[in-house]
Structure 1
């Protein structure tokens, strides 16, 4: 009976694939490769060494630890890791000592693991993003970058002008990322201009991913708060950049903890609508980041386990997207020299540096405080911000104090109130917004250059929005503006949005301004989108400008080998115009043709333009041409791609997001920085005998970076034959390991049937050696060569006995 059990174990282990080609721990027979099952799911496959007692029943430790790491609490996982024996195994006694209950099912040849809830790790379940794999994400390489080039050549002709070739214009963007330090610069060229080349922003950036801080040296792009005016500066800035961790909860969003005791089906309802459905194993889950409406929200989580028993969790949360979560900080600090354009370059004001900053803190989930400051020469401004939400609405206050000189100082205040979309657990069809702003005549925001902005003294505004009849919206509003000199201004407005169906809507708006002049303006707009999104159209009429416009679009459905086009007509008082545009999208470039015609007083003026948009991207020593890149990218390369072969990247119907082939390198462009993606390489079109070792790759690019994916494409040959002894008799039921010419393990599933026959599914060309489990038999040495059909028959192979036998 024991012999039969051992024989079944041997047959089962030989029938399983060589999982990751792991090396078998050095323990004696019997042994087999068995699945490890937790919550009815296979979490790993490992070598198992069945024994009668728990002290000697051993399991290969590495795959078991990898499978349990996401399920077991850290302290228990470390405890189990410390119990690993020198042979690389743990025993059933070790597993039970770490809090696991383990049972070996001899009928199914499975190792079943039971993990109590108290020993399970708590999990964050982000409904906005579902992790597709526990495999690590590929990060950017040490050196990557891209160069974008856009060129436009226009020709003008017609009765109203002299025929001529207009100046060639172009724009260049350069990005170079070296170990996370990003150099970026751009410029434009205009043929025949006094200064043909003009430089745009040039800077170096570096992100601290753990702290979500972005450091910038050079030309700065800054945000502002309160009464601040964002200046043009060249200097140094430190900014809290939430986009560095896009999956982290930083706003006071949903945060609900549930306990699941058995495998269950979970449904999440937000404000009465089913938002998500999930199948979850037992554990503790913190469900977060589902979409909320402004105000009070009703969230219900329904759990139905595998026995049909239901449990309901009911939550209620307040939400406002301008607030910060408790303890979360948002800030921007910058200092630099103001600049203005001067010829082909920029003139930097070295008479004094400008300083600007703001800092906001979430005191609670319902209250956020902020402070801001700006200074330049004798000008300074200090501001205070308070924002809060309650069941009665959202209220914010901004205050500012400016000083230009000893005799010119002033205050400013701005107050904003908005009722909530949901109050007391119910949808509110009416939302009221009120704003009031007051500025002293001597209040002047800090401005590094005289912008000529006329400041107003007081501003009041109100808006009332109604929602009814299945997403019909109607709004009315009014406002007044009091200025230091001249006539004050009053404005009245209304708008109506009528959705005819899911693809069509009509908007009507009216505004009346009363000031120095009295202007009445009506606007009628029409929007239509085809259900598949391939075609769209819009039209509007403006009564004040007496302008009518009609636009029809043909949208591209694929990122390459496709065309997008548009045609528009516009008519106004005494003038008509038409614009036609078509752009062909290829992977390495796009070609644009545009024609613009204007008719006035029976004379036509025509302008035809030809454009080329292209670029080159590189990662390490690999590069490829591409359409211009605006963010990050993935570069895919395969040196073994067969001639004329094509592989789709992220296939979607007839096309994908990119295509590899006939070139050996391609670019998957515009991957948003810090987001997680799964890149799918479709290998179904490969000819017989070619094998792509891996088809799915997890990537996570950083700010303006490139990730390199080297596709391991191999040519595999099926090998078959028959093993016989010196007398020509078949040698049956021989198992063995296949080694390459460097004595590295290639396959451990070699096995002969009762007739001595064997079949090896795929080997690369080269020399191989098979070491059998029969000590008295010598090695079986053979060579695999490329053959038509990728199938090689070795015929009868004589396996001799060792001379020492």
Structure 2
């Protein structure tokens, strides 16, 4: 009993005794006996500590299904710890107590307890009044777990080709092409790319071995790689080794920090989350505070509206603005890239020209939701550069990026690093005095940038300053000052954008003494959708420093699912080129995603007439065209596709992008295969179909069209969901077999039909079939393997055995004629004794 209940009982006793004493109706002895009796009753009604109660439960007015075992203690009421965990209540302030070898937590009667309680004596129910703060926090995590690959990888080979032939009528022709060879294995894949020119022959582009580690979200590459640039570096082609983070190995993984939605509920409630008025989540929460993390949101500025509705229909609406930058990392998340090798030179011209050795490291870490730090270093024999960057989230304004870098280099003595110095001296020392020597020089680089994406407007600005002597790989001459600025907004249904790119003078003159002047480039664009009338746009480009101006106005009108008409006007004036004006009209019919034809017809005011066409099916893509301008006619033709080898067979199809698969449907030919509910292939004579593309580390839904299967097909599933690794070859076997059927007339050794209703069962099946009138029988589920099939026939008074053999061929329901069933002894369990 609580303190309030005991105080109420004492007050009642005094109120009953006081009128008797005041009225003088009883003697002093009678009054004493009355008080003693009331005291005894009060003592009997007082709680007995250590008493065990079995109570019903009601929380915040809502009945719960649990039956509570509670124990009275001097401090209040002790409840089992397991009940606290089921109710998701926070632990009380009083220490726990062991009762009957079980841990109990105590509901206190003191004013400091969050949970108010009382025992309803008539119904023997424990009533708890708990505010949301009394419950433990709930966390709804929506981030995807690591991808589980369900489709084993096989050894596979593929080759992609793309050939283009061009010839001017009356002139010479040229043949160019790209070729790609790949070896796909379980641990990784080997890729080799080549370029062919008719005037120079074959040139190697890239050769690379790639090994993914999805559990670590990282990839190892050996061979020709592209380094990561970081915030201030340059991406380089190198030959060597790269070990780098790769968040794409877990589709749906969000590397940038997301806002956490917080709320609370006193009763079980439903939660609806709307992002920019679009519903993204609907779920249920138990009483108490809750957090929703990793909610998929649109980057940039936005608004989240959370609606919480409890069992009584009461609604809470919380509106929370947010700003998300994909440039930042989640707190505690690391992104890195390590490269070691030699810089690639003359890419696309020389097959294997590598320069100086170089080591690079780029490392980024999310410190908190508003700050990410980055460090980067470059190390070569004649140059070392190191720098650091910081990215800050400025609430609704955007992302601030600050970078500083320092370089140290040893350059040839003939190269001048002084401000405005001549090319023949270095720091006042004549070239002849330092010929052949390499002098140390140092320099620094600083960058400052701000980027914002929002509803009202978006923009970005960046300024870079490089001192004399700063050196970094991938940039021969760094300008002293450079910068860029962009701004975009919406106005009256128009999308407006403007930009400026500034390239200042270089740090120093070139070796030949040429000084490149500073340049500016202004851009302006506007566009608006016209509903059923298509889209209209305007763009303008202006080069500063005496450069020209180019203006383009265009209009596009869709007239079908994949057809459109477009027209444009282009004008140019100023600069070193003569003024030009040109009008153009184009009709385009895009080829369908599957098989079909597409074409393009173009004409302009300059006299050009052009017709291009493309046709594709499951095996190859062909293109061709003819163009005529100023009396010259040019012809073009091309072919592209891919070849693949898997499990002893070669397949022709579209270009292989990533990985491929072969689908096996028993021996059923000409069966349509679907990928994500789109028909993409048909099985060949051996029941196999080639899929040139599967999405790596994602669920791919591959299906079979049931209408194409024969009636005797044994179907277990028509749809499979498979998850392959990226750049792998896979074999998908559908659980569909060939189930042969047959009809015949079953007779005994004397030629009499087997009794109607007899039970017929193939010996290798659990399924049985009834025999009809005149011994007519039907059986299904027979294997397609050659050889006899034994049958067991039973009826109440006897039984027999028969053997049938299916004829060769593809008939679905052959009639085997008359089949003789040899009698067998009746089983003892079915023998009847005479009375």
- Structures share fold, TM-score greater than 0.5: yes
* 1:257–1:287 Cα contact (<8 Å) kept: no
Question: 1:520 deviation in Å?
Answer: 2.9
Question: Which of 622, 625, 631 does residue 649 from structure 2 map onto?
Answer: 622
Q: Helix, strand or coil for the counterpart of 2:707?
A: coil
Q: Helix, strand or coil for the counterpart of 1:443?
A: coil
Distance, in Å, in 2 between the alignment partners of 1:719 and 1:671 is 40
Distance, in Å, in 1 between the alignment partners of 2:774 and 2:306 is 64
Counterpart in 1 of 2:297? 291
CA RMSD of aligned residues (A): 4.6
Larger Rg: 2
Distance, in Å, in 2 between the alignment partners of 1:779 and 1:137 is 52
Does structure 1 residue 336 correspond to structure 2 residue 341?
Answer: yes
* 1:537–1:552 Cα contact (<8 Å) kept: yes
Q: Helix, strand or coil for the counterpart of 2:608?
A: strand
Question: Which of 267, 275, 297 does residue 270 from structure 1 map onto?
Answer: 275
Does structure 1 residue 383 correspond to structure 2 residue 395?
Answer: no
Question: 1:371 deviation in Å?
Answer: 0.8
Counterpart in 1 of 2:497? 475
TM-score (norm 1): 0.69
Question: Which of 339, 354, 359 does residue 358 from structure 2 map onto?
Answer: 354
Q: Which moved more, 1:253-262 or 1:339-348?
A: 253-262
Does structure 1 residue 367 correspond to structure 2 residue 367?
Answer: no
Counterpart in 1 of 2:827? 802
Q: Helix, strand or coil for the counterpart of 1:201?
A: strand
Does structure 1 residue 198 correspond to structure 2 residue 231?
Answer: no
Question: 1:338 deviation in Å?
Answer: 2.3
* 2:464–2:481 Cα contact (<8 Å) kept: yes
Q: CA 1:476–1:172 in 2, change beyond 3 Å: closer, same or farther?
A: closer
Structure 2: 5+ residue stretches without partners: 1-85, 87-134, 411-438, 507-514, 574-579
Q: CA 1:563–1:799 in 2, change beyond 3 Å: closer, same or farther?
A: farther
Q: CA 1:632–1:536 in 2, change beyond 3 Å: closer, same or farther?
A: farther
TM-score (norm 2): 0.66
Q: Helix, strand or coil for the counterpart of 1:684?
A: helix
Question: Which of 694, 701, 719 does residue 696 from structure 1 map onto?
Answer: 719
Counterpart in 2 of 1:513? 543
Question: Which of 570, 580, 585 does residue 541 from structure 1 map onto?
Answer: 570
Question: Which of 211, 215, 218 does residue 220 from structure 2 map onto?
Answer: 215
Q: CA 1:138–1:579 in 2, change beyond 3 Å: closer, same or farther?
A: farther
Distance, in Å, in 2 between the alignment partners of 1:687 and 1:275 is 44
Distance, in Å, in 2 between the alignment partners of 1:445 and 1:240 is 23
Q: CA 1:249–1:343 in 2, change beyond 3 Å: closer, same or farther?
A: closer
Question: Which of 627, 633, 636 does residue 609 from structure 1 map onto?
Answer: 636
Distance, in Å, in 1 between the alignment partners of 2:284 and 2:782 is 40
Distance, in Å, in 1 between the alignment partners of 2:178 and 2:799 is 70
Q: CA 1:710–1:257 in 2, change beyond 3 Å: closer, same or farther?
A: farther
Question: 1:739 deviation in Å?
Answer: 6.2
* 1:226–1:399 Cα contact (<8 Å) kept: no
Question: 1:221 deviation in Å?
Answer: 2.2
* 2:376–2:388 Cα contact (<8 Å) kept: yes
Q: Helix, strand or coil for the counterpart of 2:248?
A: helix
* 1:558–1:656 Cα contact (<8 Å) kept: no
* 2:536–2:556 Cα contact (<8 Å) kept: yes
* 2:270–2:285 Cα contact (<8 Å) kept: no
Q: CA 1:153–1:479 in 2, change beyond 3 Å: closer, same or farther?
A: closer
Q: Helix, strand or coil for the counterpart of 1:635?
A: strand
* 1:380–1:446 Cα contact (<8 Å) kept: no
Q: CA 1:142–1:671 in 2, change beyond 3 Å: closer, same or farther?
A: closer
Question: Which of 551, 554, 562 does residue 525 from structure 1 map onto?
Answer: 554
Does structure 1 residue 410 correspond to structure 2 residue 443?
Answer: yes
1:316-348, Cα deviation, whole Å (9 max, x unpaired): 543111211122211111111223349985344
Question: 1:204 deviation in Å?
Answer: 1.2
1:505-549, Cα deviation, whole Å (9 max, x unpaired): 22223343332x143332223334446234464635243453444
Distance, in Å, in 2 between the alignment partners of 1:778 and 1:487 is 106
Counterpart in 2 of 1:647? 672
* 2:372–2:392 Cα contact (<8 Å) kept: yes
Q: Helix, strand or coil for the counterpart of 1:435?
A: strand
* 2:746–2:753 Cα contact (<8 Å) kept: no
Counterpart in 2 of 1:25? none
Q: Helix, strand or coil for the counterpart of 2:444?
A: strand
Question: Which of 646, 669, 681 does residue 692 from structure 2 map onto?
Answer: 669
Question: 1:184 deviation in Å?
Answer: 0.8
Distance, in Å, in 2 between the alignment partners of 1:371 and 1:621 is 49
Does structure 1 residue 785 correspond to structure 2 residue 806?
Answer: yes
Q: CA 1:217–1:481 in 2, change beyond 3 Å: closer, same or farther?
A: closer
* 2:194–2:203 Cα contact (<8 Å) kept: yes
Distance, in Å, in 2 between the alignment partners of 1:183 and 1:487 is 46
1:412-455, Cα deviation, whole Å (9 max, x unpaired): 1111123451xxxxx5x1334332222213222224xxx6x543
* 1:138–1:707 Cα contact (<8 Å) kept: no
Distance, in Å, in 2 between the alignment partners of 1:715 and 1:466 is 63
Question: 1:257 deviation in Å?
Answer: 8.9
Distance, in Å, in 2 between the alignment partners of 1:767 and 1:123 is 59
Query: What is the correspondence of 1:98-137 to structure 2 with a 5 Å cutoff?
Result: 125=142
Q: CA 1:250–1:684 in 2, change beyond 3 Å: closer, same or farther?
A: same
Question: 1:258 deviation in Å?
Answer: 9.7
Question: 1:219 deviation in Å?
Answer: 1.2
Query: What is the correspondence of 1:200-599 to structure 2 with a 5 Å cutoff?
Result: 200-253=205-258, 268-275=273-280, 288-300=294-306, 317-341=322-346, 346-349=351-354, 352-393=356-397, 394-405=399-410, 407-421=440-454, 427=455, 429-447=456-474, 453-470=476-493, 472-478=494-500, 480-484=502-506, 487-501=517-531, 504-515=534-545, 517-530=546-559, 532-535=561-564, 537=566, 539-544=568-573, 546-560=581-595, 562-571=596-605, 576-599=607-630
1:734-792, Cα deviation, whole Å (9 max, x unpaired): 7x9x6654xxxx44576899999997664435625569899x97786654736955276
Counterpart in 2 of 1:146? 158
Question: Which of 699, 706, 720 does residue 683 from structure 1 map onto?
Answer: 706
1:673-717, Cα deviation, whole Å (9 max, x unpaired): 222211122121233333444321222232322221234543334
* 1:294–1:318 Cα contact (<8 Å) kept: yes
Q: Point out which structure has higher relative CO (alpha carbons under 8 A, 6+ apart).
A: 1
